Structures are given as C-alpha cells and as structure tokens.
C-alpha cells in the first residue's frame, strides 16, 4: 500500500470514509471501561460518537472468583441502567443488534485467568456470567508465562487444560500479553482460532524515543514495548489457523512529527502484508480511567501538556478518546484498501471470528 497520510484525502475521499465508517460494524477489541459516576456517560458518549459498535472490556484483573463475579455482576446491572445506550454481548448477534439499535455494546474479556483459581469447572461460571474472551496471562504467570516473566517455560498443566476447555465451551483465547513460547504452544494446542486483541509486530515496534516513551521510562519502556510486540512467526501461525490480530495504536507512535494515525497505518500495512487483510482488526488498548484523568489535567493545566504530563495519544486521537475513530477509517482509505477490506478491518473480520469460536 502507498504510505499516504490520512491528512491528504480529498473532499470526496473524506465523504466516502465517513460514509463507510457510519455503515460499518466497528469493533475495538481492547478497552478498560469506566462505569461509575460522570465517567460512565463520558465513555458511552465517546464510544457512540466514534461509531464503536462493540468493545472488548477488560474485567476481573487479578481477582478471586468471588470478586471477579461481583465485578461482572456490576457490569450487568450498569448495562441494565444504561440499556438505551448499551448492552452486554453474549452472542455475535448481539453486536449486530447493537448496530441496528444505535447502541455501543460491551464484550466482557478478562486479561488474565487468575480469577479461575486454577479450577477448570469455574470456566462454566464465567460463561454463564457473560465472559466470552479470556487472555491466558497478563505479562506474568498464571495459566501461561507472560511476556515479562524471567522464564518462558510454556503452558502450565492448567493452561493446557484451559485451552482445551475454552475450545469446548466456545470462548475466544487472547494471547496479547503472553510469552513467546507459551503463545506458540497455545496456538498449536487450540483446535479453533485464537487471537491477539491489541498488539503490534515486534519487527516494527518503534525503538526511537518519542517524548512519551522518554517520559514513561526511556530505554526500559522500549524494552518492555518490544517484549509486548508479537513475533512474525506467532502472527503468521495465528492467521494460518484462522485467527485475528488486533493492531493497537498504543505502541505505534514514532519519534518525530508524524501523526499517530499515520504511524498506526504503517503497523496495519505491515500486518496485512504479512497475514492478509482478512486477519486484521483494531484494538485501541484505551483506558477510560486515564482518559478522564488526562482530560481533567489538560483542562486544569493546558500549558503543561507533554511537559509534566505526557500523553500516549496525539491530537489525531484526541489525547485518548475514541470519538476520533473515523481517523482510522480515513487512514485505511488513504492507504488504498478496498471497501470490503475496510469493513473487514473495522469489524466484520472480528464478527466472523466470534461467530465461529462462539459456535453460532
């Protein structure tokens, strides 16, 4: 694809991008939600303004089963209170329904499996409570060694059993934060497609220090970022088995004057060239708790932006708000993707994977 900036679109191309975005099912496979106080309305209005049909929301992190299910129950209660704007996804058909009804839906997706307490039978409880995606580990060990563990020894016995149980129950396996060896073992072991909900390739992870990277930890931040990047071997194996790669803007920003949107498009192009457009989607890794805090800071101290408080997002993403999601669609148009490819990357590719894995 031609490395063309989204800023160079003509008026006709912009109109076409907006129309495509409006008619498409748009899925973001990684957010951290905010469902309390005024933040909940800020999040919902942002998702609706950005045309987000469904998001995979991180829940149950580092919880016991009891605490995790209490948290999930709070999401169901919240969705009932906000049913004019949202719903909890239990089937892929719910995502289609959300699109028809003008709502933004939430998929419940823990980023670790600690809440299962190494008991396979607890997976049924998670399913009944609406959990549909589970990441095997979050940077460090539980069912599998994480990408930040000192030793990457492969799946634990529980991890092996969990992969098989999730296959049988129809739950999607996420490997975004999992160690390299464990990742490969999970893909090999799984009888159905797996996914990376929010990653970029290790081969194209920026290693030059942007202002944010410098503020966040310099070379140590770069090292951690590289560890979070996925190898070409893993990305290709995932796609070969029918899986999906959600490309994230979170690690995509390069040093220099480029926009985050264009830097993200470079990552999308690389993954598409590696595995094909039908295996590519989007996962923002946006934490709405940080967005609310960041917004308060910028309102209070606008002169200190990127001086004492650096931002992970630039102005093409509004310092971390998904109302700017149409810029992603503009970027895809600028890079020359077909309408069908764009609709696939925006959400249809994820929808097909959900339908297959969730056994619909």
Question: pLDDT-based confidence at 208, cuts 50/70/90?
Answer: confident
Per-residue confidence (pLDDT) for residue 182, from 0 to 100: 94
Question: pLDDT-based confidence at 80, cuts 50/70/90?
Answer: very high
Is pLDDT at 157 greater than 80 in this prediction? yes
**54-57 and 104-108 as β-strands: parallel, antiparallel, unpaired?**
parallel
Per-residue confidence (pLDDT) for residue 245, from 0 to 100: 98
Tens-digit pLDDT profile for residues 232-287: 999 999 999 999 999 999 999 998 889 999 999 999 999 999 999 999 999 999 99
Q: How do the domains of the chain map onto residue ranges? A: 6-357
CATH number belonging to domain 6-357: 3.20.20.140
Smallest CA-to-CA distance from 157 within 114, 120, 109 is with 120
Question: pLDDT-based confidence at 133, cuts 50/70/90?
Answer: very high
Question: pLDDT-based confidence at 21, cuts 50/70/90?
Answer: very high
Is pLDDT at 221 greater than 80 in this prediction? yes
pLDDT averaged over every residue in the chain: 94
Output the six-digit token pair for 90: 């239990």
pTM of the model: 0.96
Is pLDDT at 305 greater than 90 in this prediction? no
Is pLDDT at 148 greater than 80 in this prediction? yes
CA atoms within 13 A on the CB side of 112: 23
Task: Tell me if residue 270 falls in helix, strand or coil.
Answer: helix
Tens-digit pLDDT profile for residues 159-189: 999 999 999 999 999 999 999 999 999 999 9
Rg (C-alpha) for the chain, rounded Å, is: 19
Question: pLDDT-based confidence at 59, cuts 50/70/90?
Answer: very high
CA atoms within 13 A on the CB side of 312: 20
Smallest CA-to-CA distance from 298 within 285, 316, 311, 284 is with 311
Residues 1-6 have a mean pLDDT of 87
């Amino acid at each position: 694809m031609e490395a063309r900036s989204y800023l160079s679109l003509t008026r006709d191309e912009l109109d076409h991008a907006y129309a495509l975005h409006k008619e498409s099912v748009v899925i973001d496979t990684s957010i951290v939600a905010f469902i309390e106080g005024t933040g909940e309305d800020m999040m919902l209005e942002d998702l609706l303004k950005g045309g987000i049909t469904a998001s995979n929301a991180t829940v149950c992190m580092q919880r016991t089963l009891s605490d995790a299910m209490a948290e999930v129950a709070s999401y169901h209660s919240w969705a009932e209170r906000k049913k004019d704007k949202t719903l909890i996804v239990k089937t892929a058909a719910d995502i289609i329904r959300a699109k028809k009804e003008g709502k933004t839906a939430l998929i419940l997706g823990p980023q670790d499996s600690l809440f299962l307490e190494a008991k396979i039978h607890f997976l049924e409880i998670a399913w009944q409570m609406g959990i549909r995606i589970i990441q095997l580990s979050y940077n460090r060990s539980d069912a599998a060694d994480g990408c930040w563990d000192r030793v990457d020894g492969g799946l634990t016995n529980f991890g092996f059993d969990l992969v098989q149980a999730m296959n049988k129950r129809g739950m999607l396996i996420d490997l975004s934060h999992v160690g390299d060896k464990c990742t490969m073992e999970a893909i090999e072991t799984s009888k159905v497609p797996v996914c990376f909900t929010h990653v970029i390739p290790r081969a194209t992870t920026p290693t030059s220090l942007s202002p944010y990277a410098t503020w966040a930890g310099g070379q140590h931040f770069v090292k951690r970022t590289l560890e979070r990047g996925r190898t070409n071997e893993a990305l290709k194996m995932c796609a070969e088995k029918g899986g999906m790669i959600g490309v994230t803007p979170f690690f995509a920003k390069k040093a220099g004057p480029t926009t985050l949107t264009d830097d993200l498009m470079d990552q999308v192009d690389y993954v598409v060239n590696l595995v094909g457009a039908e295996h590519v989607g989007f996962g923002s890794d946006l934490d709405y708790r940080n967005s609310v805090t960041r917004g308060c800071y910028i309102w209070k101290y606008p002169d200190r932006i990127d001086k004492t408080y650096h931002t992970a997002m630039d102005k093409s993403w509004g310092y971390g708000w998904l109302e700017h999601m149409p810029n992603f669609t503009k970027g895809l148009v600028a890079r020359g993707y077909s309408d069908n490819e764009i609709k696939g990357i925006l959400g249809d590719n994820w929808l097909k994977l959900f339908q297959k894995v969730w056994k619909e």
